[in-house]
Amino acid sequence: MNSIELRTAFSLAFVYVLRMLGLFMVMPVLAISATNYVDYSAFLVGLAIGGYGLTQAILQIPMGVLSDKIGRKPVIVVGLILFSIGSVLAGLSESLTWIVIGRFLQGAGAIAGAIMALAGDLSRESQRPKVMAVIGISIGFSFYLALLLGPVIAGKFGLSGIFMATGFLAVGCILLVIFAVPNAVNIAPKGDTLPVLDDLKNLFKHPQLLRLNISVLLLHMMITLVFVQIPIFLVDLSWPLASHWQVYLMVLVASIIGLLGLMKVAAKHPSAILQISVLGLALVFTCMIFGHHSLVYLIILISLFFTCFNYLEANFPAMVSNIAPAGKKGSAMGIYASFQFFGAFIGGVTSGSISEYFGLQWVFVIASLICVLWLFLIRGLQATNRLKRYTLKTQNQTTDLAFQQLAKLEGVMDITLVPSEQVVYLKADGKHFDIQQAKDLLNIPE
């Protein structure tokens, strides 16, 4: 990568880390800290934990499309301003209801699509996957960092301290976007980064993508559901909030070891490991029905949960990318992200409301049953081959004959021509596809 691409990758990754920290740091602490508010209820706790997911789900695609009309940076800056306002509002709140409103405002800063599109604009086609990979890694890193930092900050400064800190971090992100992130010098074709409204209807009905979208909704429903309950369990076992990070550190280390084991087996049996991971989640919730007998018992269950969660979380986006038609990845990922965030919202509301009106055991009973039903859904996923994606700029006029010949090249699995962007999107088997032949057909210079 050249200097502009490196600067782009790390500055945008830093923006992502700071913003996601703000969304995630409250998850391991809110269920405990919320008991200090006069309007406390399990339902409001669930809504506060998952509330950001609703506005994220609703605005994810519109904000991405808007960035294509008015520019990436303006949309990112506006999103960060909304996020900052929501954080400060929640930090100054004296009631749980206003914290919920603040969380909804935090989620309104749905800038993921605009960030990815800007990263695409600022990178060459050959280096774009590396830039995206750096940003992608930062997203996972921010979640695990939030689990460790959230309890520590809350122990010293309270829940309001977390919200105020994230508000100031968002202001820092705005300065980064304005002054550190380069201005776009290479406008990338948008098909593989941004949602395109005309594509959404058909992709919503795509049977394999629909299975993955529902799967990620259920996955994030489960992670939010867990964080409505686990902090309370830890306090019941005489672990003060400020010490919860020690438990999460043990859990993360154990889950990473477990994840490496799953990945090794998955190299030969990918479909089986997907089903085993969902079965693992069902087992965790079934065991939780019968209570939390000791810290060791709880750590084992949470470690198993995170092992399975991490494997599914890492593999679902890759499957979406592989299944999505050529030139439709941005739209497919936009829909996927909307389902993902909506799952977080449903998980918070479901866990809080069921716990309040029917009892804690029923939360885990229903979660177990959902995971069993999920097993049947995920069994219908067809095995996918790892295909490479290519984006080729065409000349002013690409003849129909050249396009037809391109589609017949060995290894080409899917092809989409977008005349308005003067670009051809390809999905091909890299072992058999000769990119130079494609360039020759399209008269693309070396």
Residue at a domain's end among 354, 379, 404: 379
SS3 at position 432:
coil
Q: Are residues 283 and 355 in the same domain?
A: yes
Span 67-75, average pLDDT: 86
Read off the CATH number of the domain in which 410 is found: 3.30.70.100
How long is the chain?
A: 446
Q: Going by C-beta distance under 8 Å and a sequence separation of 6 or more, which residues neighbour residue 29? A: 150, 151, 154, 159, 162, 231, 241, 244
Q: Are residues 99 and 217 in the same domain?
A: yes
Q: Residue 147 — very low, low, confident or very high, per pLDDT cuts 50/70/90?
A: confident
> Is 302 inside any structural domain?
yes
Q: Are residues 35 and 78 in the same domain?
A: yes
CA-CA-CA-CA torsion for 52, 58, 63, 66, nearest 10 degrees?
-160
| pLDDT for the residue numbered 181 | 85
Show the beta-strand stretches assigned E in 146-226.
none
Q: Are residues 350 and 405 in the same domain?
A: no
Q: Are residues 82 and 191 in the same domain?
A: yes
Mean of the per-residue pLDDT values of the chain: 85
CA pair distance 81, 380, nearest whole angstrom: 42
CA pair distance 414, 255, nearest whole angstrom: 37
C-alpha count within 13 angstroms, C-beta hemisphere, residue 37: 26
Q: Are residues 146 and 97 in the same domain?
A: yes
Q: Are residues 109 and 75 in the same domain?
A: yes
Distances (CA, A) of 428 to 76, 227, 238, 415, 441: 33, 41, 56, 9, 16
Q: Are residues 336 and 317 in the same domain?
A: yes
CB 18 within 8 A of CB 169: yes
Q: Going by C-beta distance under 8 Å and a sequence separation of 6 or more, which residues neighbour residue 407? A: 415
Residue at a domain's end among 332, 349, 379: 379
pLDDT tens digit sequence for 406-428: 777 777 777 777 776 677 777 77
Q: Residue 329 — very low, low, confident or very high, per pLDDT cuts 50/70/90?
A: confident
Q: Residue 220 — very low, low, confident or very high, per pLDDT cuts 50/70/90?
A: very high
pLDDT tens digit sequence for 351-410: 888 888 888 889 899 999 999 999 989 887 765 566 777 777 776 565 566 667 777 777
pLDDT tens digit sequence for 259-278: 899 988 887 888 889 999 99
| pLDDT for the residue numbered 120 | 80
Q: What single DSSP character describes residue 181?
A: S
For residue 283, pLDDT beyond 90: yes
CB 191 within 8 A of CB 328: yes
CA pair distance 49, 232, nearest whole angstrom: 14
> Is 87 inside any structural domain?
yes
CB 4 within 8 A of CB 122: yes
Region of 240 please: left (phi>0), alpha (psi -120 to 50) or beta. beta
Question: How many structural domains compose the chain?
Answer: 2
CB 343 within 8 A of CB 218: yes
CA pair distance 223, 289, nearest whole angstrom: 16
Q: Are residues 363 and 400 in the same domain?
A: no
> Is 446 inside any structural domain?
no
Read off the CATH number of the domain in which 352 is found: 1.20.1250.20
The residue ranking higher by pLDDT, 389 or 282, is: 282
For residue 430, pLDDT beyond 70: no
For residue 92, pLDDT beyond 90: yes
CA pair distance 135, 215, nearest whole angstrom: 23
Pairing state of beta strands 412-418 and 423-428? antiparallel
Structure-token pair, residue 208: 């394999």
Q: Going by C-beta distance under 8 Å and a sequence separation of 6 or more, which residues neighbour residue 385? A: 322, 429
pLDDT tens digit sequence for 126-135: 777 788 778 8
> Is 407 inside any structural domain?
yes
Residue in 11, 351, 431, 404 with CA at minimum distance from that of residue 180: 11
Q: Residue 282 — very low, low, confident or very high, per pLDDT cuts 50/70/90?
A: very high
| pLDDT for the residue numbered 121 | 81
> Is 314 inside any structural domain?
yes
Span 215-233, average pLDDT: 89
CA pair distance 110, 334, nearest whole angstrom: 11
**Domain hosting residue 422, numbered range:** 388-441
Residue at a domain's end among 326, 360, 379: 379
| pLDDT for the residue numbered 276 | 93
For residue 332, pLDDT beyond 90: no
Q: Are residues 273 and 420 in the same domain?
A: no
Distances (CA, A) of 74 to 51, 174, 357, 398: 25, 10, 44, 34
Residue in 267, 224, 202 with CA at minimum distance from that of residue 107: 224
Q: Are residues 189 and 300 in the same domain?
A: yes
Across 165-174, 335-344, 362-371, 435-444, least confident range? 435-444
For residue 88, pLDDT beyond 60: yes
CA pair distance 364, 386, nearest whole angstrom: 36
The residue ranking higher by pLDDT, 322 or 259, is: 259
> Is 321 inside any structural domain?
yes
Q: What pTM, to 2 d.p., does this model score?
A: 0.86
For residue 85, pLDDT beyond 90: yes
> Is 232 inside any structural domain?
yes
Residue in 308, 343, 339 with CA at minimum distance from that of residue 221: 343
For residue 236, pLDDT beyond 90: no
Across 133-142, 220-229, 248-257, least confident range? 133-142
Q: Are residues 371 and 412 in the same domain?
A: no
